[in-house]
Amino acid sequence: MPRSEMTREELVAIFALKATAPPPEANKLLVRHLQCKESIRLAGAVRHAMDRFAGTDSVPLSAPSEFLPPLG
């Protein structure tokens, strides 16, 4: 019958293994994306647009047609 509880030492050993294991490939790609200069500039531009156009008094912007799925 399997045990349902771990000892503190077993849990610490599992955390130590996880902490020293290399990150998954998806995490490496995400880090590269978040450090990319173009991604950082794009995020700044989006934030600026949101600050400028988001609010209770502003009119919502419509999405460009190339981003909209075809109807029907």
Total domains present in the chain: 1
Domain that holds residue 40: 23-53
Bigger pLDDT: 53 vs 68: 53
Q: Where are the alpha helices (DSSP H) in the chain?
A: 8-20, 25-35, 37-53
Long-range pairs for 44-51: beta carbons < 8 A, 24 or more residues apart: none
Q: Is residue 45 part of a domain?
A: yes
Q: Is residue 3 part of a domain?
A: no
Half-sphere exposure of 2 (CA within 13 A, CB side): 2
User: Each residue of 32-55: pLDDT tens digit?
Assistant: 888 899 999 999 999 888 888 776
Residue 58's pLDDT band (boundaries 50, 70, 90)? low
Of the chain, the percentage scoring pLDDT greater than 90 comes to 24
User: Each residue of 5-30: pLDDT tens digit?
Assistant: 889 999 999 999 988 888 888 888 88
